[in-house]
Amino acid sequence: MTQSQELPPISTLSLASLSDQEQLGQAIFQACTTTGFFYLKDHSIPKQEVDRIFDVSSRYFLQTDEEDKRKDADFANNIGYRAMKAETLDPATSKEGDLKESFNLVLLSSKSKEHAPPSQTFPASMLPEKEEITSFIDACKSTCDVVLQGFAHALGLTENYFKDCHHGAHDRLRLIHYPPTPPREDGTSTSIRAGSHSDYGSCTLLFQKDVGGLQVEVEGKWVDIPPQEGCIVVNVGDAMEFWTKGLFQSTQHRVALPRTEAESASRFSVAYFCQPDEDTVLEPLEIAPSILEKVPESIKWKQSVGYFEERMESKGVKRGTSKLTGGSHLRARLNATH
């Protein structure tokens, strides 16, 4: 695939000016049926809280012994530490694993018995800020709930249609560190910071610090999505694409190898993965003709059964799979990439 900076960037949605649900639904519809990505501004997560999470993250990754980090690993529950190269988001292309380490946290405040996340062990360096970390995760969950309501409005469904099957047991806040890496020399390297992939759940909130590298595939080209002050990058995940039979796009994205000296420094990002509940079935929903009419002519062809089946297959779902659920899709993708 070629690189391009000529294409228009993703749109920016403001939660302040879009307090009207109808308007929010329309803007979300437009973003989700085209790139599947948008910047979200005027959300309710203050900059100081985002900065604090980045401080927690850099302290953990840069000041914890490798041996101690490895004690924090719990792949079976999708929590805790994951070492450099442990994950290969694009196994078809990358042979050595992604050049990153990460740490997954659960929705710590969850009181749900039926949808309880696994219990989390805190590394020593995070303990003093456990309360702040907990409230940051809560703020991410609340923001995702607003986005899920926006998805429902966009699709002509009742406001809490999606929210009611997202209790957060599989949600994870992921702190990610891409260690310093020299700029790539000639573009032939198959090493990558995060291989091309789509996310598995309903939506993802992504906080980037100062170092770029995130790219999204738009019309066959890789487009940079640089960090924007005060903005969260939001993207649609596979579950939402499956429910909408390909109307909403769970788009491939990646974190490229550094291209400049500035990008060669440590890169930190924080992602909140919003996942459907364990038994929620991921089958196409009935979408009203009045909604389908809004699909621009130029992308109507994406509604064909053949194209949708191809998309499902590219996301690891074999033809004829019955009863795909939130839990089964998540585990299948995690097992395929580790």
Residue facing ligand AKG at closest CB distance: 269
Closer of 152 and 176 to ligand AKG (Cβ)? 176
Neighbours of 262 (CB within 10 A): 11
**Is residue 234 classed exposed, middle or buried when 0-12, 13-18 and 19+ CB atoms within 10 A define those classes?**
buried
Query: Residues 136, 173: contact at Cβ < 8 Å?
Result: yes
271 sits near ligand AKG (criterion: CB under 6 A): yes
**Minimum distance between the CB of residue 54 and ligand AKG, rounded to whole angstroms?**
12
Residue 179 vs residues 85, 172, 269: alpha-carbon distances, Å: 11, 22, 12
Q: Token pair for residue 300?
A: 């109507």
Hey, what are 278's tokens?
Answer: 């364990």
Residue nearest to Fe ion (CB): 199
Whose Cβ is closer to ligand AKG: residue 150's or residue 195's? 195
199 binds Fe ion (CB under 5 A): yes
The H helix count followed by the E strand count for the chain is 8, 14
Nearest-Å Rg of the Cα atoms of the chain is 19
Burial class of residue 195 in the structure, from the number of CB atoms within 10 Å of its CB (0-12 exposed, 13-18 middle, 19+ buried): buried
The first and second tokens of residue 244, run together, are 């909408």
DSSP letters spanning 232-264: EEEEE-HHHHHHTTTSS----EEEPPP-STGGG
Among ligand AKG, Fe ion, none, residue 32 binds (CB under 5-8 Å by kind): none
> C-beta of 156: minimal distance to ligand AKG in Å?
29
Least separation, in Å, of the C-beta of 206 and ligand AKG? 6
Least spacing, CB of residue 143 vs ligand AKG, in Å = 17
What binding mask, one character per residue, do residues 70-109 give for ligand AKG by CB under 6 A, x or -?
A: ----------------------------------------
Question: Taking CB under 6 A as the rule, does residue 53 contact ligand AKG?
Answer: no
Single out the segment in contact with ligand AKG by CB under 6 A; choices: 115-123, 144-152, 206-214, 240-248. 206-214
Compute the residue count for the chain: 338
Q: Does residue 98 bind Fe ion (CB under 5 A)?
A: no
Which residues of this chain interact with Fe ion, rule CB under 5 A?
A: 199
Which residues of this chain interact with ligand AKG, rule CB under 6 A?
A: 176, 194, 199, 206, 208, 214, 253, 255, 269, 271
